[in-house]
Amino acid sequence: MTILVTGAAGFIGSNFVLDWLKTSSETVINLDKLTYAGNRHNLVTIQDDPRHTLVQGDIGDQTLVPQLLATHRPRAILNFAAESHVDRSIHGPGEFIQTNIVGTFHLLEAARDYWMQLEDAEKANFRFLHVSTDEVYGTLTASDAPFTEQNRYEPNSPYSSSKAASDHLVRAWHHTYGLPVLTTNCSNNYGPYHFPEKLIPLTITNALAGKPVPIYGDGLQVRDWLYVGDHCSGIRRVLEAGTIGETYNIGGWNEQTNISIVQKICALLDERRPRADGTSYATQITHVKDRPGHDRRYAIDARKIEQQLGWRPAETFETGIRKTVDWYLENAEWVTQVQSGAYRDWVNKQYGETV
């Protein structure tokens, strides 16, 4: 048995593959474009594992993807491939349209052609699982109930708009063509191998480097935080038992403000690797101009997956963030490798030259 996982050299995808191979003998074909956020080093521990094959390529490649499907005959496609950083989407939305919308369209078409040619039993068992985000639902006020699967889509950034469009395509390919799809919408992930342009890894790496730790505006934006290992287990459960055509929200039940996240990380670093001058890393926190259209609050209601599929996150934020900080402290070489000149140029552009 084989599964095809797209975008599986990125943060969530690589964690999924590493986790999958710990618990399954099933072969994984990993299709990744290997852009700045796709990193072979995420997969170094399985580089010699015969159950894993990494193929560099684009989900929109109308020759390569059908060839992979015909050759490896996967029982499922899991689509993690996406441009995912809101800040980058504001500066360059074109790549997000191309990958998240056009790329998903071509992947769906390849999957549909492949699925239609399967024998009856294989056809019945095939699944296309699309990994999406809670940002498609828009923003919440402090008093609003968390997002459920019934919330209407109100995306507010080029990134979330492109993901919303891809979700609609997946839904349409099920209702129009019968393709057996599953969609998951997750809250903010954190954990090992997280590219250090996002809040948590940026905080850790900048703090340790003695640089300013940037935080947008007043820092009171609220997010629901989900440890990446829990997200992976949730996806496995949806693939295993989810109802075809359904959407499942995967959340961590951990709403936190951005400023509280940064303060907790600084406190953990104070404990685990104190600064030489004895002061707290919190002195490095620097408030910068808020980004355009910054959503104030996201929160996931994950009762559907809990009640229907019996899944709940194993980590609290306190246990998950400790694991995350420890991983970055123990993997300084990985951090150095991903912080290329292009990455430094991006951070300076986004947060200011002082960062």
Given a contact cutoff of 8 angstroms between Cβ atoms, the answer to whether 271 and 277 are in contact is no
Per-residue pLDDT at 350 exceeds 70: no
- pLDDT category at 351 given cuts 50, 70, 90 is low
Percentage of the chain lying above the pLDDT 70 cut: 95
* Residue from 62, 3, 14 nearest 38 by CA: 14
pLDDT of 336 reads: 87
pLDDT tens for 162-181 read 999 999 999 999 999 999 99
32, 58, 87, 134: which is the annotated catalytic residue? Answer: 134
pLDDT of 352 reads: 58
**Which H, E and C letters describe the chain, residue by residue?**
CEEEEECCCCHHHHHHHHHHHHHCCCEEEEEECCCCCCCHHHHHHHCCCCCEEEEECCCCCCCHHHHHHHHHCCCEEEECCCCCCHHHHHHCHHHHHHHHHHHHHHHHHHHHHHHHCCCHHHHHHCEEEEEEEHHHHCCCCCCCCCECCCCCCCCCCHHHHHHHHHHHHHHHHHHHHCCCEEEEEECEEECCCCCCCCHHHHHHHHHHCCCCEEEECCCCCEEEEEEHHHHHHHHHHHHHHCCCCCEEEECCCCEEEHHHHHHHHHHHHHHHCCCCCCCCHHHHEEEECCCCCCCCECCECCHHHHHHHCCCCCCCHHHHHHHHHHHHHHCHHHHHHHCCHHHHHHHHHHHCCCC
Determine the angle formed by the axes of helices 258-272 and 317-330, rounding to 10 degrees.
50
- pLDDT category at 337 given cuts 50, 70, 90 is confident
pLDDT tens for 61-79 read 999 999 999 999 999 999 9
User: Residue range 304-316: average pLDDT?
Assistant: 98
pLDDT of 6 reads: 98
- pLDDT category at 197 given cuts 50, 70, 90 is confident
pLDDT of 84 reads: 74
- pLDDT category at 86 given cuts 50, 70, 90 is confident
Q: What distance in Å separates the CA atoms of residue 60 and residue 82, rounded to the nearest whole number?
A: 11
83, 109, 135, 230: which is the annotated catalytic residue? Answer: 135
pLDDT of 355 reads: 47
Please state which of the ranges 18-27, 36-45, 47-56, 216-225 shows the lowest mean pLDDT.
36-45
159 is catalytic: yes
- pLDDT category at 354 given cuts 50, 70, 90 is very low
User: Residue range 182-205: average pLDDT?
Assistant: 95
32, 109, 137, 159: which is the annotated catalytic residue? Answer: 159
Q: Which amino acid is at 305?
A: I
Domain 2-190+227-254+294-314 coded CATH 3.40.50.720:
yes
Count of CB atoms situated within 10 Å of the CB of 91: 12
User: Residue range 138-162: average pLDDT?
Assistant: 96
* Residue from 181, 144, 142, 186 nearest 163 by CA: 186
134 is catalytic: yes
- pLDDT category at 30 given cuts 50, 70, 90 is very high
pLDDT of 348 reads: 61
Cα Rg of the chain, angstroms? 20
pLDDT tens for 259-280 read 999 999 999 999 999 999 999 9
pLDDT tens for 214-246 read 999 999 999 999 999 999 999 999 999 999 999
pLDDT of 349 reads: 60
Percentage of the chain lying above the pLDDT 90 cut: 86
120 is catalytic: no
Provide the b/e sequence for 295-322 (b: ≥16 CB within 10 Å): bebbbbbbebbbeebebebebebeebbb
User: Residue range 116-124: average pLDDT?
Assistant: 98
| Domain residue extents for the chain | 2-190+227-254+294-314
Residues recorded for the chain: 355
